[in-house]
């Protein structure tokens, strides 16, 4: 009988419990695909006595997760604790430093320490696997690292946070405010009590930085990701976008070229003809444009016990087969170092929403600012005054440099006619 792959598991939350259940439920199938048994022998978590819907009696309990990683009898360690630093990073360093394969779903740790961990894995001849770190059960890491390996990737665009997509979809389908949609997401378990990590765009930015490194063969540069969240998106924005033929989505975009590496997460107006416009609910979707494969779209459940556990076990099967290779598709010392691209030089169309006082001269002030900044207006919609006397102006620009729109908004800063900060969303190209 083939030698079993002995596993240590750190973290027994939703995904950790799901992994144990999946290994038990599909044991025979997994063993046939792996070529040998996969056995979890030891587990660790913060609270040993917490009630869980999985039987832990078959496994040795280790109070200290770092001690789990130091065991000599393990063929791989699975880290599902989370967090960029702290115990998760200690486990990762200890595991890879001993030459033991590491499987992780920790996008924050990879975004901040991925280069260090990749170099350590290569130096010790250990696999670093992280399919579950991006898009849950959607196999986007394998698609980029293996399926698209022969292609020069032009760009990556993705809906990378299921919480935000659920909120925006609910605002769209039910006509509710951001606050009400967020509360619904929290009620269904899609959003944490403190949703900042999701709704402010940080989670999606971690994932985008990882995808960019894989797609373009560049060093991870999370610090260069421009991040905008969805807190300021209103039901009126959703409605105006729909009337114009768009849907609002939080989109991660990355491109690499002679001008540098561009990475941004921000709410965008997505044309109905674009595949990302049709990802609804807590779905993740990633569109990759390759030199020879054209546009590749991967879509599915981006979070949850089953999908994420499935991705973790897929990595375990790879390790059981002896499949390794560099974490970011090429040796870390061969990854290119690119400066951050100047976002102001990017050309595109923009959506602008102004909330203004109902008095003469305000529209003239706004159009004068756009004129002086070199912004060409394609359309302008003015809604009647609301109960509070405020008027909503919605403007869509012709294609132009982003710095021009930024300049127009700077010219309007402090204007007595503006009752709220203007809302800017870019329009995603077809």
Name the superfamily (CATH) of residues 140-302: Dihydrodipicolinate Reductase; domain 2 (3.30.360.10)
* Catalytic residue flag (residue 207): yes
The domain made up of 5-136+322-328 has a fold known as Rossmann fold (3.40.50)
The CATH fold of domain 344-427: Alpha-Beta Plaits (3.30.70)
- Domain ranges for the chain: 5-136+322-328, 140-302, 344-427
| SS3 sequence of the chain | CCCCEEEEEECCCHHHHHHHHHHHHCHHHHHHHHCCCEEEEEEECCCCCCCCCCCCCCCEECCCHHHHHCCCCCCEEEECCCCCCCHHHHHHHHHHHCCCCEEECCHHHHHHHHHHHHHHHHHHCCCEECHHHCCCCCCHHHHHHHHCCCCCEEEEEEECCHHHHHHHHHHHHHCCCHHHHHHHHHHCCCCCCCCHHHHCCHHHHHHHHHHHHHHHCECCCHHHCEECCCCCCCHHHHHHHHHHCEEEEEEEEEEEECCEEEEEEEEEEEECCCHHHHCCCCEEEEEEEECCCEEEEEEEECCCHHHHHHHHHHHHHHHHHCCCCCCCCCCHHHCECCCECCHHHCEEEEEEEEEEECCCCHHHHHHHHHHHCCCCEEEEEECCCCCCCEEEEEEEECCEEHHHHHHHHHHHCCCCCECCCCEEEEECCC
pLDDT score for 227: 98
Is 107 annotated to bind a ligand? Reply is yes
Catalytic residue among 21, 129, 207, 420: 207
Check residue 1 and give its pLDDT. 65
Q: Is 129 annotated as a binding residue?
A: no
Has 16 been labeled as part of a binding site? yes
229 is in an annotated binding site: no
State which residues of the chain have pLDDT below 70. Answer: 1, 430
pLDDT at 324: 87
What pTM was computed for the model? 0.95
């Amino acid at each position: 009988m083939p030698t079993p792959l002995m596993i240590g598991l750190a973290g027994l939350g939703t995904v950790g419990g799901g992994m144990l259940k999946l290994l038990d439920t599909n044991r025979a199938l997994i063993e046939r695909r792996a070529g040998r048994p996969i056995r979890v022998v030891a587990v660790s978590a913060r609270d040993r006595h917490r009630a869980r819907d999985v039987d832990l009696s078959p496994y040795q309990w280790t109070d200290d997760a770092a001690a789990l990683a130091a065991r000599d009898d393990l063929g791989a360690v699975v880290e599902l604790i989370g967090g960029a630093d702290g115990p998760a990073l200690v486990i990762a360093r200890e595991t890879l430093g001993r030459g033991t394969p590491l499987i992780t779903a920790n996008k924050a740790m990879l975004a901040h320490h991925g280069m260090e961990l990749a170099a350590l894995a290569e130096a010790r001849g250990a696999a670093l696997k992280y399919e579950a770190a991006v898009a849950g059960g959607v196999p986007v890491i394998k698609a980029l690292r293996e399926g698209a390996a022969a292609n020069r990737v032009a760009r990556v665009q993705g809906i990378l946070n299921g919480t935000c997509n659920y909120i925006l979809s609910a605002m769209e389908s039910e006509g509710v405010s951001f606050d009400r949609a967020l509360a619904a997401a929290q009620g269904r378990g899609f959003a944490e009590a403190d949703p900042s990590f999701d709704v402010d765009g940080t989670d999606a930015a971690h994932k985008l930085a990882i995808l960019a490194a894989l797609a373009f063969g560049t060093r991870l540069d999370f610090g260069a990701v421009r991040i905008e969240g969805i807190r300021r998106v209103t039901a009126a924005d959703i409605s105006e976008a729909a009337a114009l033929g768009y849907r609002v989505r939080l989109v991660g975009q990355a491109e690499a070229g002679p001008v540098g590496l561009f990475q941004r997460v921000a709410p965008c107006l997505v044309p109905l003809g674009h595949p990302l416009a049709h990802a609804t609910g807590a779905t993740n979707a990633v569109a990759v444009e390759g030199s020879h494969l054209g546009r590749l779209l991967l879509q599915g459940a981006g979070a949850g016990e089953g999908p994420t556990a499935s991705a973790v076990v897929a990595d375990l099967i790879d390790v059981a087969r002896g499949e390794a290779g560099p974490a970011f598709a090429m040796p870390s010392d061969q990854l290119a170092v690119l400066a951050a691209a100047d976002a102001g030089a990017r050309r595109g169309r923009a959506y602008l929403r102004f909330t203004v006082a109902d008095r003469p001269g305000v529209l003239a002030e706004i159009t004068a600012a756009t004129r002086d900044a070199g912004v060409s207006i394609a359309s302008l919609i003015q809604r009647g005054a609301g109960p509070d006397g405020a008027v909503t102006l919605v403007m869509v620009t012709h294609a132009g440099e982003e710095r021009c729109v930024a300049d127009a908004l700077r010219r309007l800063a402090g204007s007595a006619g503006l009752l709220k900060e203007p809302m800017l969303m870019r329009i995603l190209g077809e």
